[in-house]
Homo-oligomer: A and B are copies of this chain.
Amino acid sequence: MKPMGPIPADFRSKGGALLIGGRKASALVRRAGETPLFVYDFAMAERRIARFRAAFPSIDLHYALKANPFATLVHRIAPLVDGIDVASIGEARAAIDAGMAGFCVSFAGPGKRDAELEFAIHHGLTVNLESEGEAERALAIGARIGVRPRLAVRVNPDFELRGSGMRMGGGAKPFGVDADRVPALVRRIAAEGAEFRGFHIFAGSQSLDAEAIVEAQAATVTLASRLAEEAGVAPPRLNLGGGFGIPYFAGDASLDIERIGAALEAQYHERPAALADTRFNLELGRWLVGEAGVYLTRVVDRKESGGQVFLIVDGGLHHQLAASGNFGTVVRRNYPIAVADRFGAEPEEVVNVCGCLCTPLDRLGDQVSLPRTEVGDLIAIFLAGAYGASASPSAFLGHGPAMEMLV
């Protein structure tokens, strides 16, 4: 038997049936008409937003759309946040379609094409510049189309977020401009008459270490202040990135965001003079929506091989690549899994939960303990709200994409 990660504490059951948004999983599948199905519980995302607001009363909240671009979800989140951060023209359109004002959308990403820059400048988005070359292209496009571009500078900081799942800053990186070259770039932007919008400084993501985040945020504020002083231009906004992780695996514990909020609020209220007129924001994706999503898939076959039990489901890594351990993780570990109609029941056997793809990579649960499970039963795989449906190879092997539903 191998351990699995923790099921988010928000999930309840009724008569042994898993509830999502107060409704039985099996009823949601009937409503959808088929499996596999992603269900997102919007109330869970709302509670996350409320918890953020309580912990960070002076800090703006942006939604990192890349975590989950499902249109229904984005439309519901947009009115509850102060901005949306996008990473492509496709995401920019999704943010605008959701009713977000262009002014509240910022666009980061290391490889923006000219067409993307033109779209962003035309719609008044803030472009987080990733290099001096991109700055020159953006200035030229603004001049050509007669729109004053809104430009922020993404800074590759000279530190990193300790213990983060993905390091976005520190050392040689494809993201942003090395800190020592930032003041000159800010002066250049201002001299060219563009609207300077501030700094984007993102040191890492998927951290569960509150102290490491506090430390990185403190270093971010210090760096932003130093850069603003050296540039001689006040930044209207400091985007401190995100980095808030969620527990995926056995032994992971939830992040103490109240501890982080207390520290960042104190920092904000005692910020250096160079940041006196600067709004701070965090951009969160995974932490807002990751735990709110459940991937529901039905058992198609139950078989034995070499003394082990295999449950073969109608979903797989083509919908939930990360749960198979094939995206951004070196060692495969089990996401939390449950039998939807025997939620909370005592485990009775050790099984492998395999997807329907004809590849040995397609394993969603490796030697996990579950109640007795038969063909036709629904399996729930948790932590499917972020980097799930949109971050998986849905065309692989021709089974097609999963359905998505917000409740």
Contact = CB atoms under 8 A, between A and B. Distances in A.
A176 B301 CA distance: 12
Interface centre among A156, A326, A397 (most CB of B within 10 A): A397
A358 B300 contact: no
A356 to B, nearest CB: 3
A302 B133 contact: yes
Contact of A301 (B133, B316, B352, B392): B133
Q: Could you say how many copies of this chain the assembly holds?
A: 2
Nearest to A69: B398
A145 B112 CA distance: 54
Interface stretch (A209-217, A304-312, A337-345): A304-312
Nearest to A367: B172
A362 B360 CA distance: 24
A134 interface: yes
Interface stretch (A11-19, A40-48, A82-90, A191-199): A82-90
A94 B174 contact: no
A393 B321 contact: yes
Given A390-B395, A392-B393, A166 B360 contact: yes
A113 B376 CA distance: 11
A110 B361 contact: no
A48 to B, nearest CB: 22
Interface string A308-331: 101011101000010000111010
A175 interface: yes
A93 B397 CA distance: 12
A178 B306 contact: yes
A94 B204 CA distance: 42
Contact of A178 (B87, B305, B314, B400): B305
Given A327-B361, A397-B66, A130 B301 contact: yes
A109 B357 contact: yes
Given A327-B326, A361-B327, A394-B395, A111 B313 contact: yes
Contacts of A166: 359-361
A86 B132 contact: no
Contacts of A110: 301, 310, 312, 354, 356-358
A168 interface: yes
Nearest to A111: B356
A174 B172 CA distance: 43
Contact of A300 (B111, B156, B168): B111
B394 A303 contact: no
A405 B300 CA distance: 36
A302 B354 CA distance: 42
A232 interface: no
Nearest to A130: B301
Nearest to A128: B358
Contacts of A168: 360
A369 interface: no
A103 interface: no
A65 B397 CA distance: 8
Contact of A393 (B89, B156, B176, B393): B393
Contacts of A357: 87, 109-111
25 contacts: A66-B397, A69-B395, A69-B398, A87-B398, A89-B398, A89-B399, A90-B397, A90-B400, A111-B316, A113-B356, A130-B301, A130-B303, A133-B375, A167-B360, A174-B352, A174-B362, A175-B360, A177-B303, A326-B328, A327-B361, A330-B330, A390-B396, A390-B397, A390-B398, A393-B394
Given A112-B356, A131-B301, A327-B393, 18 more contacts: A65-B398, A66-B396, A90-B397, A109-B397, A110-B357, A112-B300, A130-B303, A130-B312, A133-B375, A156-B305, A168-B360, A171-B306, A174-B362, A176-B305, A178-B304, A328-B359, A392-B393, A394-B394
